[in-house]
Structure 1
Amino acid sequence: MIQSQLKEIGVDLQIIPVEWAEWLSQVFTNKDYDLTIVSHVEPNDIDIYSRPGYYFQYDNPKFNDVIKALGTTVDKNKRLELLGEAQKFLAHDVPAVYLFELPKIGVWDAKLQGMWTNWPIEADDLTKVKWTD
């Protein structure tokens, strides 16, 4: 669907599926890509955009200043104001385009305790999971 939509505006897109290990090497580490699609929904991760060496290579010193201030601010209203400023930078500069997020659907045996039912990403932290009788 994305390929056909981009074709309508003159972008000829070749889709090349890659395994996770290859994505980590090629895209995340070596930054060798034109466009990538990846599930990126960690909670409160807006600061990843203030890391110029991160794989999307976004570097805006004014945005970085807002994120630094956010890291030292405890006042809830001020934090909301700073988050709003940060979001405006991202909306204007567009270091990433947010397309969709697949729903996380989990089904497990009731005897399995410790599963986080509202885990915000598609992977589960199993370090505290255990079987009960």
Structure 2
Amino acid sequence: VSHTEPMDIGIYANPDYYFGYDGKEFQAVMDKLNLTTDEAARYGLMAEAQKIIARDAVNVYLFELAKTGVWDARINGLWENSPVQANDLTGVSWSE
């Protein structure tokens, strides 16, 4: 499991998930996040939640899967490094 999907942070709020994390401080931050609609505040809360996960050493990743790709040099806009295991084609175009 690579855990690179967008909003994967929510799985850490589920104590029944396979790694069984149930941090009270983390849960409080996630409760705030779930009630917050302001985008800047949400980013701040997600950053705080990520710091708690790192501090609590919930997971230890031995490696991260590399993204390997080959594409035509005339294709513009493909992500060189991507946060998800998919190719976002919304900004891709051909050059002549």
The reply to whether TM is greater than 0.5 is yes
> 2:27 maps to which residue?
64
> How high is the TM-score relative to the length of structure 1?
0.49
Question: How many residues align structurally?
Answer: 79
> 1:103 maps to which residue?
66
Long gaps (5+) in structure 2: 72-77, 88-96
> 2:85 maps to which residue?
121
Distance 1:99 1:73 in 2: 34
1:42 aligns with 2:20: no
1:52 positional shift = 0.3
Distance 2:35 2:70 in 1: 39
Distance 1:42 1:80 in 2: 16
Distance 1:54 1:74 in 2: 26
RMSD of aligned Cα (Å): 2.5
Long gaps (5+) in structure 1: 1-37, 109-115, 125-133
Distance 2:4 2:63 in 1: 10
Question: What is the identity percentage for the equivalent residue pairs of Structure 1 and Structure 2?
Answer: 48
* Counterpart pick for 1:93 among 53, 56, 60: 56
Comparing 48-57 and 59-68, the one that deviates more? 59-68
> How high is the TM-score relative to the length of structure 2?
0.65
